[in-house]
């Protein structure tokens, strides 16, 4: 599918939301709703990600609207940043709607460093992160395991990393479901999937994955801020 720029229908709801109406194309079962500012929308319309929002709105069993978050860009089937829910009865199940990097997570690590300490050295810090954290298509991690050990990783998740000295004992307590999925069965995976995934252990991966150095410059929720330290 060509990544042509968007030329379809788009209605502004308010300063932060835009609607692709059901009338945009035949087969849409609901509207598409995009969360973005006017400035962001200029960039979003440069590829055909909005058409993918409309395509998702055609899925059988879709519940509510076809949604797109502010980071929306052209994806595999869904746009990257696309969100949709489908009904248990009559809805679709797609293992590769956005892509195949399922179960991506978000982690926050707070430091005691200040902006004044970090800013003069930020270029060196980012350069060192690139050295220490492999990323990109075909990248290989420094954590090397055989297939038997990889199966332990798949079952134990974050607790495996902690057992190998790559974390603190309390880390899994601050991750959803303790950093693993109950009932995980590595034997259900094909040998090809195992072999493809094994060298990527310890990498950031490719595509829509980021490692960012950020500064807290404003607190909107004091209670949540205290909980995060």
Distance CA 126, CA 121 (A): 9
pLDDT of residue 208: 67
Check: CB of residue 51 under 8 Å from CB of residue 6. Answer: yes
Reported as a pLDDT band with limits 50, 70 and 90, residue 206 is confident
Final residue in a domain of this structure, among 86, 103, 136: 86
pLDDT of residue 103: 62
Same domain assignment for residues 66 and 119: no
Beta strands in 74-182 (DSSP E): 80-86
Same domain assignment for residues 73 and 126: no
* Any domain includes 104: no
Domain that holds residue 127: 115-227
* Any domain includes 146: yes
pLDDT tens figures, 67-80: 999 989 888 889 98
* Any domain includes 167: yes
Residue 22 per-residue DSSP state: G
* Any domain includes 105: no
Residue 25 per-residue DSSP state: S
Residue showing tokens 């995980």: 184
Residue 72: both structure tokens together: 């929306």
Distance CA 69, CA 90 (A): 25
pTM: 0.61
């Amino acid at each position: 599918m060509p990544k042509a720029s968007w030329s379809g229908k788009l209605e502004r709801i308010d300063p932060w939301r835009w609607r692709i109406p059901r009338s945009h194309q035949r087969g849409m079962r609901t509207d598409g709703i995009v969360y973005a500012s006017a400035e962001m929308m200029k960039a979003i319309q440069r590829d055909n990600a909005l058409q993918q929002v409309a395509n998702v709105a055609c899925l059988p069993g879709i519940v509510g609207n076809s949604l797109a978050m502010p980071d929306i860009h052209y994806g595999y089937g869904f746009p990257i940043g696309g969100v949709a829910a489908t009904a248990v009865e009559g809805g679709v199940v797609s293992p590769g709607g956005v892509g195949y990097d399922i179960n991506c997570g978000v982690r926050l690590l707070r430091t005691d460093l200040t902006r004044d300490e970090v800013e003069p050295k930020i270029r060196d810090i980012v350069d060192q992160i690139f050295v220490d954290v492999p990323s990109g298509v075909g990248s290989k991690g420094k954590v090397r395991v055989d297939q038997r050990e990889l199966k332990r990783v798949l079952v134990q998740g974050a607790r495996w990393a902690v057992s190998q000295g790559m974390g603190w004992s309390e880390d899994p307590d601050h991750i959803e479901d303790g950093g693993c999925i109950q009932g995980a069965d590595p034997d259900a995976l094909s040998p090809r999937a195992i072999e493809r995934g094994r060298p990527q252990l310890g990498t950031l991966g490719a595509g829509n994955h980021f490692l960012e150095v950020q500064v807290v410059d404003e607190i909107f929720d004091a209670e949540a801020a205290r909980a995060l330290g």
